[in-house]
Amino acid sequence: MQVVKEPISTKGPRLSCELSIAGRYLVLVPFSSGVSISKRISSNDERKRLQRLIQSIKPENFGVIIRTVAEGKEVAELDKDLRNLVKTWEEGMTRLVTANPRDKVIGELNKASSLLRDVLNESFDNVLCDDKKIFEEVKSYIHTIAPEKEKIVKLYTGKLKLFEHYGVERQIKAAFWSNRKFAGWRLSDHRTHRSAHVIDVNSGNKSNREENQETTALSVNLEAVREVARQLRLRDMGGIVVIDFIDMRNLDNKKLISQKMKDEMESDRAKHTVLPLSKFGLMQITRERVRPQ
């Protein structure tokens, strides 16, 4: 069996006998034969291309799930990823022969490498590590998945702590505030239940800056949309999220806020649903809870 979701609060871990191994572009599914494609790949031509391509290179008795990041990738990159996954499976099956009950046969990558597997792209200029062991592991992993990017992995030796030097420590502390004040407006997160959150948006001292109340409301709400989407990802908030935006009367403005929230949430890798604003100016979002926030 495989652990597919770690324990959260009073819920135990979720286990499955439908095994899968995640790679950079593909997910290998042993004891299956189908090829499925991420719903986020919307182009029909690209879906057909990937379907044909994977069908032609996948081994028998293995299914494959094509991840969103595989869009536009060449056959050589996908084939390399597939070979690495099959190799991981075969090595695990070799260990299985001598394994005892409850032994781990195949494990996830370390946290640093698994993060890079999911987020590494062409925009990365540097990957900094302040631990020699992690540095070697990350460098080795990137050499495997993207040799041309290996040179961006660097060992940090500065006097200040790495997180302090790059301002990450400050952002982490800020993420734990339940009451965030920004440029003239305030965002408050009132947790009503361990899987529900209510976010209240207020205009603060911005109320007199715009020409009328509707313009002020739209301006503040648009700014709040960007920050709410960021906070959901940053804090990994899941379950039901209700956002109380500043009231707007214009129907087009309400539609704009709903569309902007969908656009901002597009890059969120957790499964989510964004509902339109209600007549009371409330927006409901459901977001997958993968791990403790």
CATH number for position 103 = 3.30.230
Euclidean distance between CA atoms 114 and 11, whole angstroms: 24
Same domain, 116 and 73: no
97 and 2 within one domain = yes
3-state class (DSSP) for residue 228: helix
pLDDT at position 281 is 86
Residue 266, domain CATH: 3.40.630
Is 166 within the bounds of a domain? no
Residue in 237, 181, 189 with CA at minimum distance from that of residue 206: 181
Q: Which residue has the tokens 């209240």?
A: 200
What is the structure's pLDDT at 193? 61
Same domain, 183 and 197: yes
Domain-located, residue 137:
yes
Amino acid at 131: D
Say whether both 122 and 138 belong to one domain: yes
Count of beta carbons in the 10 Å neighbourhood of residue 199: 22
Residue of 185, 167, 187, 205 whose CA lies nearest to 241:
187
Helix then strand then coil, in percent of the chain rounded to 5, is 40, 20, 35
Question: Is there a single domain that holds both residue 183 and residue 152?
Answer: no
Let me know if residue 292 belongs to a domain: no
pTM, entire model: 0.71
Residue 50 structural domain: 1-108
The pair of structure tokens assigned to 278 is 């209600």
Containing H/E element for 54? helix 44-57
Is 165 within a domain?
no
Residues 101, 1 share a domain: yes
Q: Are the C-beta atoms of residues 184 and 203 closer than 8 Å to each other?
A: yes
Mean pLDDT by runs of 10 across the 293 residues of the chain is 85 92 94 92 94 94 94 93 95 95 89 86 91 92 87 93 92 72 61 75 66 86 91 86 91 94 90 91 89 67
Q: Are 43 and 51 in contact (CB under 8 A)?
A: no
**Could you tell me if residue 141 is inside a domain?**
yes
Number of domains in the chain: 3
- In one letter, which amino acid is 78? L
State whether residue 250 is helix, strand or coil: coil
Tokens standing for residue 252:
């087009």
pLDDT at 38: 93
Do residues 198 and 192 make contact, with C-beta atoms less than 8 angstroms apart?
yes
Q: How far is CA 72 from CA 111, 158, 187, 203, in A?
A: 27, 39, 39, 43
Let me know if residue 164 belongs to a domain.
no
Give just the sign of the alpha carbon dihedral 55, 56, 58, 60. positive
Which pLDDT score is estimated for 277?
92
Whether 272 maps to a domain, the answer reads yes
Which residue reads 């060449």 in tokens?
74
